[in-house]
Amino acid sequence: SLPIRLADYRAPAWRVERVELDFELGIATTEIGAKLLLRRDPAQDESLRLDGENLELISIALDGEVLADDAYRLVDGGLEVHGARDGSVLETRVRVHPAANTALEGLYLSGPSETGFLLTQCEAQGFRHITFFPDRPDVQAIYTVTLRADRARFPVLLAGGNPDGSGELEDGRHWARFVDPHPKPAYLFALVAGRLEKIEQDYRTADGRDVQLKIWAEADAIDRCHYAMDALVRSMRWDEQAYGRNYDLDVFHVVATHDFNMGAMENKGLNIFNTKCLLADADSSTDDEYRRVEAVVAHEYFHNWSGNRVTCRDWFQLSLKEGFTVYREQCFSADMNSAPLKRIEDVGLLRRAQFPEDAGPLAHPVRPAEYREINNFYTATVYEKGAELVRMLAGKLGTAGFRRGTDLYFSRNDGRAAALEDFLAALGEANDVDLSPYLAWYGQSGTPRLKAHGHYDATRHEYTLTLSQHTPASLQQPRKQPLPIPVKLALFGSDGRMLPLHTDGQTDASEIVVVLDEAEQCFVFRDVPERPVPSLLRGLSAPAVLECDYTPAELALLLGHDPDGFNRWDAGQQLALRAYDALRDGAHNGAVNAWCDTLAALFDDARLDAALLADLLVPPGEIELAERESVVDPARIYTLRQQLQQRLAARIGADKLEARYRSLAAQSTAGIDAVSQANRSLKQRVLQLLALLDPTAACHHAATQYLDAPSMTDRLAALGVLARHDAARSVEPLVHYRKRYASDPLALDKWFALQAQLPGEGALARVQALEADPAFTLKNPNRARALLGTWANGNPSGFHRADGAGYRLYADRLLALDALNPQIAARLATAFNGWQRLEPHRREAAHAALASLAGHDQLSRNLAEIVGNMLK
Ligand code: B3K
Ligand code: ZN
């Protein structure tokens, strides 16, 4: 297939003003009638062409007349119709087969045929699997949807929009109708039909609309939806207060399914969620999972404005809705919980997922220039880097200015399909600033390297900071431009206190932002009483990598004293990288000691938040470490990182670790309040460190903790320590867990994932054994990701075997998956990212696995594009 290019965008020649859909629902076969009121762009004279895939056309009529065979033509990927005029009405009837749809795109079945339910997934291009239609986001129509089905088999019938009647039909069937008054693109269409239970709550919006909130799930899951309801209500209030956005329909439905390709989907008025991102209860969910539910519920809800009311002109603009919505969710979660911990979590994700993507063969700009398969572009770059770009703009405008900008953006673009330029224009115009230089960030891939060098003039008391930037070349973009990089900074005195800043423009702030918009620039600070320690890129004020000639002692000063939790953590991460390098190179121990000594002192600091301390005690992960090497040996990285942590554990000392563990364990509760979560987080970290010094003692505690655990977080933490440090002793609890949660798919996923993560060459055999478990299946995306995805993405030393056997097995599974579900196969294939920098043996083996995949002629467009880019 040919790539689709941003530069080729043209407004649609045909639009649909209204559409009436009629579903005659069945598990094996569903028939869909569609009636489209068409509008033609007078400036274009193309004949009507509609998208459609895997549709069996039953009948077709134009303006009430059945079409003759020569008046339309089924073409690859669609339907051409001759003779349509502006105002014509096209009627089609098609047949589809939901139960046979393993790709989980379009209309499909969740669960077994006898008991499962029907649902749809249309973003990005699933609607064309439901009916013939201009399946592009800049075609926005008013939808009237009628569902008909057997009442006993499908007691619940839902579609987006407001309910508009329901009733009985003959033969035990019934119907329900929904009208959505807000014009929307086809990707936001959704329906759900089957046996579902619900919880509900009334909500009154700030502007006075009464809304019924309903969360639907299968009977065994409905009791675990209360936390999601709570998060939904908090999200709705927050969006009213933070952005002045109110909900705009009389009902808001949320539905949970175990069979879903991603986290959730923001269909208008009918959000559909992966159970993994919706269900939560104390017995089966970890603290991380509670936070994820809260975050994803908020994210999908926020899309109602950033995505639905204002949608995307074309899929190249995807970050317009995704980057902005991720940013909105980040701020919401920061408000609901702890801002520094949230920022640590998000920056961690950016560094472990987005930076490597941006440095490898799949690198692309936040606004890509071309794609073959749009589903491959729901990436960390479009989402997470996109959110960082919005954060930069928000930082530049300040809270009030950013709000003025988003108010203008929403009002000016309401009901429209917008481009990224519209976003920047509204933010800029509302504040009288020109933000167009920031557009360059959207078009250029790669993570800028920010170099900093400080010079202190002791006689003049002047500090000169020289900043320079460089973005490494990529295949598509051999020449990179300098970008506007906001660098938030502070200067610290040798006593660890922030110094007041005096520059030409500003005085007496302790933190300022300078913008580096050339390749190199100098910034001068006056009245600096002593040679300062600079703290740069605070809060990660731009998605860049900082390269600074700090000494370990300077980093230790920041780690020990920065009043801001995030910046303290970030200094610690930098210092840990220095320590790692020193260990690797067998160099002087200065950095290792500085890192260990400072953390050991913080360990004794009773004022420090327990959750922050837990994060401070974790060095950068293996993927981040690998990013800095020109030749990567994952086994060696794993070993060195273990050694580094062992040094830290030894420096703190077994007695202190043991004592802290006991005191935290004595205070454990089942609560999900911040204090209880912080307790669990630190307790887990302390137990892991203890296990590196005294595995017997740690496993003893872990065995008890597993049995007594009042929460899933504690239970899994204990299992993890046992499985890593005393495999024999972990057998019984693993069997116990497997039985206890035999009928809870989400809990079983965690069981698969925990074992897939166990490091070392033994991982391959373990993965193969787990594939033989009767509960394993490639057909369920959560299960496939839990085992194969966790192994390949979350366990570098286990996946990257020196003999390449890991790659061969994985390539095999990708092929099998591709035949079932191309989106999942393509997503999992990205685990090969970075293969070019592997040491020669592994590199050779990874190349062979990729090349053998590329040699198959039946690959989906999804997998073919990823593998092809990987080999470019
Ligand atoms: N917009 C959806 C993602 C759709 C992915 C299509 N392959 C979920 C979200 O970002 O909210
Ligand atoms: Zn989204």
Per-residue pLDDT of 696-736, as tens digits, reads 999 999 999 999 999 999 999 999 999 999 999 999 999 99
Q: Which atom of ligand 1 is nearest to the CA of 299?
A: 11
Q: Is residue 721 part of a domain?
A: no
Q: Clarify whether residues 316 and 400 are in a common domain.
A: yes
**Which of 489, 520, 542 lies at the terminal end of a domain, its last residue?**
542
Q: Clarify whether residues 405 and 463 are in a common domain.
A: no
With b for 16 or more beta-carbon neighbours within 10 A and e for fewer, the 302-323 pattern comes to bbbbbbbbbbbbbbbbbbbbbb
**What average pLDDT does range 663-685 have in this prediction?**
97
Rounded Cα–Cα distance for residues 223 and 310 (Å): 34
Q: Which atom of ligand 1 is nearest to the CA of 261?
A: 7
Closest residue to atom 8 of ligand 1, CA basis: 265
Tokens of 100: 């046979």
For the chain, give the mean pLDDT.
Answer: 98
Closest residue to atom 7 of ligand 1, CA basis: 375
Q: Is residue 701 part of a domain?
A: no
pLDDT at 1 over 90: no
Candidate of 184, 262, 300 to mutate for ligand 1, largest count of ligand atoms within 8 Å of Cβ: 262
Q: Clarify whether residues 147 and 165 are in a common domain.
A: yes
Q: Clarify whether residues 61 and 159 are in a common domain.
A: yes
Nearest CA-CA partner of 701 in 674, 672, 729: 729
The sign one gets for the Cα dihedral 78, 84, 87, 90 is negative
Q: How confident is the model at residue 634 (pLDDT cuts 50, 70, 90)?
A: very high
Q: What pLDDT was estimated at residue 450?
A: 98
Q: Is residue 741 part of a domain?
A: no
Q: What pLDDT was estimated at residue 507?
A: 62
Rounded Cα–Cα distance for residues 467 and 518 (Å): 9
Q: Which atom of ligand 1 is nearest to the CA of 303?
A: 11
Q: Clarify whether residues 191 and 167 are in a common domain.
A: yes
Q: Clarify whether residues 455 and 429 are in a common domain.
A: no
Q: Encode pLDDT of 650-661 as tens digits.
A: 999 999 999 999
Q: Which atom of ligand 1 is nearest to the CA of 375?
A: 7
**What average pLDDT does range 810-819 have in this prediction?**
98
Q: Clarify whether residues 153 and 12 are in a common domain.
A: yes
Which ligand has its closest atom nearest to the C-alpha of 137?
Answer: 1
Q: Clarify whether residues 6 and 139 are in a common domain.
A: yes
Q: Clarify whether residues 51 and 135 are in a common domain.
A: yes
pLDDT at 505 over 80: no
Q: Are strands 65-66 and 14-24 parallel, antiparallel or unpaired?
A: unpaired
Distance 263 CA to ligand 1 centre (A): 8
Alpha helices in 112-173 (DSSP H): none
Q: Which DSSP symbol is given to 311?
A: E
Rounded Cα–Cα distance for residues 221 and 819 (Å): 30
**Which of 195, 213, 243 lies at the terminal end of a domain, its last residue?**
195
Q: Is residue 114 part of a domain?
A: yes
Q: Encode pLDDT of 203-247 as tens digits.
A: 999 999 999 999 999 999 999 999 999 999 999 999 999 999 999
Rounded Cα–Cα distance for residues 383 and 863 (Å): 21
Q: Is residue 655 part of a domain?
A: no
Q: Which DSSP symbol is given to 352?
A: I
Q: Name the percent of the chain lying above pLDDT 70.
A: 99
Q: How confident is the model at residue 39 (pLDDT cuts 50, 70, 90)?
A: very high
Closest residue to atom 1 of ligand 1, CA basis: 265
192 has which bridge partners?
Answer: 119, 158
Q: What pLDDT was estimated at residue 239?
A: 99
Which positions are catalytic? 300
Q: Clarify whether residues 65 and 168 are in a common domain.
A: yes
* Residue-number span of the structural domain to which 157 is assigned: 1-195
Give the domain CATH number at 101. 2.60.40.1730
Q: Clarify whether residues 185 and 204 are in a common domain.
A: no
Q: Which atom of ligand 1 is nearest to the CA of 307?
A: 1
Q: Are strands 78-81 and 48-51 parallel, antiparallel or unpaired?
A: antiparallel
pLDDT at 504 over 90: no
Distance 477 CA to ligand 2 centre (A): 28
**What average pLDDT does range 587-614 have in this prediction?**
96
Q: Which atom of ligand 1 is nearest to the CA of 374?
A: 7
Q: Which atom of ligand 1 is nearest to the CA of 383?
A: 10
Closest residue to atom 10 of ligand 1, CA basis: 322
Distance 378 CA to ligand 2 centre (A): 9
Q: Encode pLDDT of 344-394 as tens digits.
A: 999 999 999 999 999 999 999 999 999 999 999 999 999 999 999 999 999
Rounded Cα–Cα distance for residues 504 and 830 (Å): 48
Distance 753 CA to ligand 2 centre (A): 25
pLDDT at 506 over 80: no
Which ligand has its closest atom nearest to the C-alpha of 124?
Answer: 1
Rounded Cα–Cα distance for residues 140 and 127 (Å): 13
Distance 191 CA to ligand 1 centre (A): 16
Q: Is residue 142 part of a domain?
A: yes
Closest residue to atom 5 of ligand 1, CA basis: 123
Give the chain's length: 872
Closest residue to atom 9 of ligand 1, CA basis: 265
Residues in CB range of 635: below 8 A, 6 or more apart: 760, 761, 797, 800, 802
CA angle 355, 810, 98 (to 5 degrees): 95
Candidate of 322, 329, 377, 866 to mutate for ligand 1, largest count of ligand atoms within 8 Å of Cβ: 322
Lining ligand 1 with CB less than 6 A are 123-124, 262, 264-266, 299-300, 303, 322, 375, 378, 823
Cβ atoms of 118 and 109 within 8 Å: the answer is: yes
Q: How confident is the model at residue 509 (pLDDT cuts 50, 70, 90)?
A: confident
* Residue at token pair 């134009």: 62
Cβ-in-10-Å burial (0-12, 13-18, 19+) of 432 comes to exposed
Distance 314 CA to ligand 1 centre (A): 15
Q: Is residue 610 part of a domain?
A: no
CB atoms within 10 A of CB 45: 8
Cβ atoms of 190 and 265 within 8 Å: the answer is: yes
**Which of 260, 285, 304 lies at the terminal end of a domain, its last residue?**
304
Nearest CA-CA partner of 444 in 390, 383, 381, 391: 381
Give the domain CATH number at 370. 1.10.390.10
Distance 356 CA to ligand 1 centre (A): 21
Distance 325 CA to ligand 2 centre (A): 6
Candidate of 104, 187, 254, 266 to mutate for ligand 1, largest count of ligand atoms within 8 Å of Cβ: 266
Which ligand has its closest atom nearest to the C-alpha of 373?
Answer: 1
Q: Is residue 658 part of a domain?
A: no
Q: Encode pLDDT of 315-358 as tens digits.
A: 999 999 999 999 999 999 999 999 999 999 999 999 999 999 99
Candidate of 105, 121, 123, 297 to mutate for ligand 1, largest count of ligand atoms within 8 Å of Cβ: 123
Rounded Cα–Cα distance for residues 268 and 249 (Å): 9
Closest residue to atom 4 of ligand 1, CA basis: 123
Distance 624 CA to ligand 1 centre (A): 26
Q: Encode pLDDT of 61-101 as tens digits.
A: 999 999 999 999 999 999 999 999 999 999 999 999 999 99
Q: Encode pLDDT of 822-872 as tens digits.
A: 999 999 999 999 999 999 999 999 999 999 999 999 999 999 999 999 999
Closest residue to atom 3 of ligand 1, CA basis: 265
Q: Clarify whether residues 47 and 168 are in a common domain.
A: yes
Give the domain CATH number at 528. 2.60.40.1840
**CA 300 to chain centroid:** 12
The count of structural domains within the chain is 5
